[in-house]
Each structure stands twice: as structure tokens, then as C-alpha cells.
Amino acid sequence: MATIELNEQNFEKTVTENDIVIVDFWASWCAPCRAFAPTFEAASEKHPDIVFGKVNTEEAQSLAAAFQIRSIPTLMIFREQVILFAQPGMLSPAQLEEVIEKVREIDMEQVREDIRKQQQEQESSQQQQS
């Protein structure tokens, strides 16, 4: 599957309806973004079961702001609607493959349990402060 353009209209639906979504936040004037594009495209061809999307930060400024993108390129990986990876900078093909394999191996039941525990601890802490 080739990469798809993500924007304010299709971003949430794409993340909600797909198991793994890898997002490249980029801009046309960004030389490192252009240099990373072939690596990202090649990975999308190698992993047809994963959605690879690109967010043009110039055209989708509200998305970039919502995810607090301060540097581009920034790579963000969602699995089952949970952000598991977010990092600015280019990755080599080998690094990108390693991240993809680690994301595939993560136990999402454990991730959701960890999130529940963190939320409970925050709620408990807030109640104690009031």
C-alpha cells in the first residue's frame, strides 16, 4: 500500500479504523523530510497491512498543533488508537524496520492495563489534593 495523505477530515477515521497507523509529519520545504520520504514509501510497500500516512504540517496546521509537532520530520505510530512511538528526526531504513517490528510485538492488553493504572493513580492523586 502506498502512503496516503492525512488531514483534518480523514485523520481520526484512519487511526480509528486501522490496527497500526504510521504517520510522517512533514513539509515540502523541509530537506530532511524530503530525504526521509523514500524510506517511508519503501516501508509502506514492504508492510501492506499497515497504514502509512503523511501529514503536511503546512496544510494541516491544526493537526500539527494538536500533536505538538515542534520539529519535522516527526514520526508517530498508533496501534489500536494508542500512540506507541513519537520521535522527531529521520530514521534509516533499518531503524524504521526495527521500530515497526517492536510495535508489532507490543502486548496491547498490557499497554491498556498500564494506561488504566496511570489514570487511576492520577485520579487518586487529584482527589487527595482537593
pLDDT value at position 1?
A: 57
Is 33 known to be catalytic?
yes
User: Residue 130: how many CB atoms within 10 A of its CB?
Assistant: 4
pLDDT value at position 66?
A: 95
Distance (Å) of CA 117 to CA 100, 105, 111, 112, 124: 26, 21, 10, 9, 10
- Read off the CATH number of the domain in which 109 is found: 3.40.30.10
Distance (Å) of CA 83 to CA 15, 21, 22, 97: 10, 9, 10, 17
Question: Can you give the pLDDT of all 130 residues of the chain as single tens digits?
Answer: 579 999 999 999 999 999 999 999 999 999 999 999 999 999 999 999 999 999 999 999 999 999 999 999 999 999 999 999 999 999 999 999 999 999 999 999 999 999 999 999 888 888 888 6
Q: Which of 4, 27, 30, 86 is catalytic?
A: 30
Residues of the domain holding 29: 4-129
- Supply the pTM of this predicted model: 0.89
pLDDT value at position 51?
A: 97
pLDDT value at position 127?
A: 82
Q: Which of 20, 21, 23, 33 is catalytic?
A: 33
Query: 49 Cβ partners below 8 Å, 6+ apart?
Result: 19, 20
Structural domain total, the chain: 1
Is 30 known to be catalytic?
yes
